[in-house]
Chain A
């Protein structure tokens, strides 16, 4: 099992550009999550999904969109990147109790 993988690992964007972060899991988990982590802070939930075709807002959803077209994939989109979205983004999935996290995507918006 590869577990939870994230693509890309690093990305630099200019303000106003768009991009999509991909999260994939091969554990057949129903639940998937996107978090962001700013320097010196804990993780904050952006959006989550409780199953294929469903998504919901988390604690800090503004400026982001998500899609879960396939059970194994959860995409996070930034339509018009802003410097405030510079952060490390983590994806996670869970079968119920414990969450399994990916290695993270480090995004810088200049």
Chain B
């Protein structure tokens, strides 16, 4: 599975959009981009995933560049409850392992 690179930490003002970047320059054609988050001491929570098209659900939007070497997770209106560590993971559809790195610690500021 391809490796990912994320900034270690980011701040975002409450009510503003949070844009979390992820670099996955070695991604292969059959690897999906997944995003999970982990609120302090809890189990990780699935957010969204995509292959090459942009995706949106009730939690977030995922923007994948045309060359698929990077992506951005967008939380449109960040709240204090969005403070968490966000993990960007790439994996093939049939693979069983999620390789969690150290993620980005997002702090939403009142």
Residues of A within 8 A of B (CB): 4, 31, 33, 40-45, 48, 50, 56, 58-59, 88, 90, 92, 97-104
A102–B101 Cα gap in the complex (Å)?
19
- Known pairs A41-B102, A42-B87; A101 contacts B96 (CB<8 A): no
* Cα-based distance from A99 to B96 in the complex (angstroms): 10
Name 26 interchain pairs, CB-CB below 8 A, sorted by A. Answer: A33-B96, A40-B102, A41-B102, A42-B87, A42-B102, A42-B103, A43-B98, A44-B100, A45-B98, A50-B96, A56-B96, A58-B96, A58-B97, A59-B97, A88-B41, A90-B43, A90-B44, A97-B32, A98-B46, A98-B49, A99-B46, A99-B98, A100-B46, A101-B45, A103-B42, A104-B42
Contact A101 B49 (CB under 8 A): no
Q: Which residues of B contact A102 (CB under 8 A)?
A: 43
Tell me the minimal C-beta distance from B40 to chain A in angstroms: 11
- Indicate whether A92 sits within 8 Å of B43 (C-beta atoms), given known contacts A41-B102, A42-B101, A42-B103: yes
Within 8 A of A (CB), among B71-99: 87, 93, 96-99
If over half of B's interface residues share one DSSP class (helix, strand or loop), that class is named, otherwise mixed; here it is loop
User: B41, A104: Cβ atoms under 8 Å?
Assistant: yes
Number of residues from B at the complex interface, CB < 8 A: 20
Q: Which of B42, B43, B44, B101 has the most CB of A within 10 A?
A: B43
Q: Which residues of B contact A48 (CB under 8 A)?
A: 96-97
Q: Give Cα A21–Cα B65 distance, bound, in whole angstroms.
A: 42
Residues on the A chain within 8 Å of B100, using CB: 42-44
**Can you name the residue of chain A whose Cβ is closest to the Cβ of B48?**
A98
